[in-house]
Amino acid sequence: MATDSNTKKVALVTGSANGIGKAIVRKLASDGYAVVINDLEFNKEKAEAFAEELKAQGHEASVLFADVSDFEQVKSMVNSLERLDVMVANAAVVAPVDFITDDHIDGWQKTFDVNLKGHLLCYKFAAIKMIAQGWGGRIIGASSIVGRKPEPGRMTYSATKWAIRGLTQQAAYELGKHNITVNCYAPGLINSELAQQYMASSPQAAELMNTVIKSQAVGRIGEPEDVAQLVSFLASEGAGFITGQTVSIDGGIVFT
Ligand SMILES: NC(=O)c1ccc[n+]([C@@H]2O[C@H](COP(=O)([O-])OP(=O)(O)OC[C@H]3O[C@@H](n4cnc5c(N)ncnc54)[C@H](O)[C@@H]3O)[C@@H](O)[C@H]2O)c1
């Protein structure tokens, strides 16, 4: 990519005060990007402490609070950046355990708003900015193993993660001519706050997660750093011919 070489490349990672997003920010900072940490304002202390930690290590880091499900907030967050080279739409919420036979759809709207609309808005405003810059870019989203295969009790969450794969393909198809690639990662079980919260949410959820680990080829839980390594590659110059893909990072659960 022929870029503006006067300023450092910028990578924005949503939902990065915690877990996988935080590990991605750390890795992209060490790859040489000026990193922008995004999260909800209630995570202010964590996000700002993280930015300070990165700055103390000599990295360029800043924090922007925005709810990824809010059109105007995502638009102004992206527009406030001097430049944008890598957008990682990572933020999501996990829906409570739910089944098709439940007599309610609690959690459906919020899960779709944050996970799917959140990805749409991040992809959209990143694409608009990258096209205007004129040198291309990388857009990376977060699907899941349950965006590839069903698991009991994951109905709503799984539906959002399947939809993110479709959104990724559609955006990749539209944006290739602008030298913008769009891919997403599909983690299996990764040791983050979200996974710990889910496992603690009910005995059913904990049992389900243990079954997942037993079914993997690599018999350990994944770490956020495993996903960060993949994102680092997808963001790199060398990944310029990969687009529209959902890349599994699951210790060998789904073989495609
Ligand atoms: N951990 C896993 O096992 C696993 C597996 C498959 C996919 N994933 C996906 O990976 C991504 C990261 O997951 P994680 O495990 O690190 O989650 P996490 O809960 O540890 O971190 C998610 C972050 O997103 C933030 N966030 C939530 N709603 C937001 C909003 N509306 N706007 C901005 N920020 C918001 C949260 O405050 C949190 O800091 C998610 O998309 C998740 O669905 C995780």
Mean pLDDT of 225-232: 98
Catalytic: which of 129, 161, 185, 198? 161
Atom from ligand 1 closest to the CA of residue 67:
32
Instruction: Give the distance (Å) from ligand 1 centre to CA of residue 3.
Output: 30
If one residue of 43, 45, 194 were mutated to test the ligand 1 pocket, choosing by the most ligand atoms within 8 A of its CB, it would be 194
**Is 185 an active-site residue?**
no
pLDDT digits (tens, 9 = 90+) for 151-206: 889 999 999 999 999 999 999 999 999 999 999 999 999 999 878 887 888 888 88
216 φ/ψ angles, rounded to the nearest 5 degrees: -80, 155
Is position 46 annotated as part of the catalytic site? no
Nearest protein CA to atom 32 of ligand 1, as residue: 67
Residue 203: burial class (beta carbons within 10 Å; 0-12, 13-18, 19+):
exposed
| CB contact at 8 A, 147 and 164 | yes
- Residue 120 has what pLDDT? 99
Q: What is the mean pLDDT of the chain?
A: 95
Taking a C-beta distance cutoff of 8 angstroms, is the pair 191, 151 a contact? Answer: no
Domains of the chain, residue spans: 10-188+223-249
- pLDDT(1) > 60: no
Residue 240 CA to ligand 1 centre (angstroms):
26
Distance CA 94, CA 101 (A): 19
Work out the number of other CB atoms within 10 angstroms of the CB of residue 202: 13
Torsion angles phi and psi, residue 185, rounded to 5: -100, 145
Rounded to whole angstroms, the Cα distance separating 20 from 32 reads 19
Residues with CB under 6 A from ligand 1: 14-15, 17-21, 39-40, 43, 67-69, 90-93, 114, 118, 142, 144, 187, 189-190, 192-195
* pLDDT, tens digit, 9 for 90 and up, residues 50-98: 999 999 999 999 999 999 999 999 999 999 999 999 999 999 998 888 9
User: Is residue 231 within 8 Å of 185, Cβ to Cβ?
Assistant: yes
Determine which one of 9, 33, 129, 157 is catalytic.
Answer: 157
Task: List the CATH code of the domain at 10-188+223-249.
Answer: 3.40.50.720
Positive or negative, the CA dihedral 24, 30, 31, 35 is: positive
